[in-house]
Chain A
Amino acid sequence: EIVLTQSPATLSLSPGERATLSCRASQSVNSYLAWYQQKPGQAPRLLIYDASKRATGIPARFSGSGSGTDFTLTISSLEPEDFAVYYCQHRSKWPSFTFGPGTKVDIK
């Protein structure tokens, strides 16, 4: 079973700052990795899939990179609405899907 680890658990930043979130897989998932955003009391929404492709309607300030075991979600300049929890997810062991434990981005 592939395990996803996310770091840091919490990231405290100010609006306008750059956020860099990490997701590491216990073995290679190629580029089969996605990122989701979840705000309090809301359902998750897909931000990035196939490691670097932005989902429909996602602003350009969100970008994803990486392959194999190490992946990064970057938010170039935090907007107030970006403070949320972010999860990574893999699908390399089709049709099994696993989420990481999440990174909370909160206001410093």
Chain B
Amino acid sequence: QVYLVESGGGVVQPGRSLRLSCAASGFTFSKYGMHWVRQAPGKGLEWVSVMWSDGSNEYYADSVKGRFIISRDNSKSTLYLQMNNLRAEDTAVYYCARDIANTVFGVGWIDPWGQGTLVTVSS
């Protein structure tokens, strides 16, 4: 059984930073690309970032480029999202999710997903 457990969410002031973690288990973490996807309260899904299985490449949505940094520690089966210069519009549930293909760069289809962690940016 695959498990993805996010942590690190909370309330943060605009302009501050927050680091999310995603602990993975039940599969060989180092073989899969990993994504972050977010969902603002009552809104739809927004893809945020992906990192290839070996950590060699990372990509971001334009809305977070230059502010967020994705990383992973394959020895700890953990994915991270460093969020800097946070804005009110970054308020959302952040989901960690796995690519369905066990290749270096994946195929872009996302499953399974963690239960998410809520980030609220407010003064």
Contacts and interface: CB of A to CB of B under 8 A. Distances in A.
A36 B50 contact: no
Given A45-B111, A46-B100, A46-B109, A95 B50 contact: yes
A99 B44 contact: yes
Q: How large is the interface on B (under 10, 10 to 19, 20 to 34, 35 or more residues)?
A: 20 to 34
B95 A91 contact: no
B109 A34 contact: yes
A46 B97 CA distance: 11
A43 B45 contact: no
Nearest to A87: B45
Contacts of A55: 100, 109, 111
B95 A43 contact: yes
B113 interface: yes
Contacts of A98: 47
B35 to A, nearest CB: 8
Contact of B44 (A45, A87, A96): A87
Contacts of A97: 35, 47, 50, 108, 110
Contacts, number: 66
A94 B35 CA distance: 13
A96 B46 CA distance: 11
A16 interface: no
A8 interface: no
Contact of A45 (B57, B108, B113): B113
A51 B59 CA distance: 24
A95 B65 CA distance: 13
Given A44-B37, A44-B113, A49-B107, 8 more contacts: A34-B110, A38-B45, A43-B95, A43-B115, A46-B111, A49-B100, A89-B47, A95-B57
Interface of B: 35, 37, 44-47, 50, 57, 59, 61, 95, 97, 100, 105, 107-116
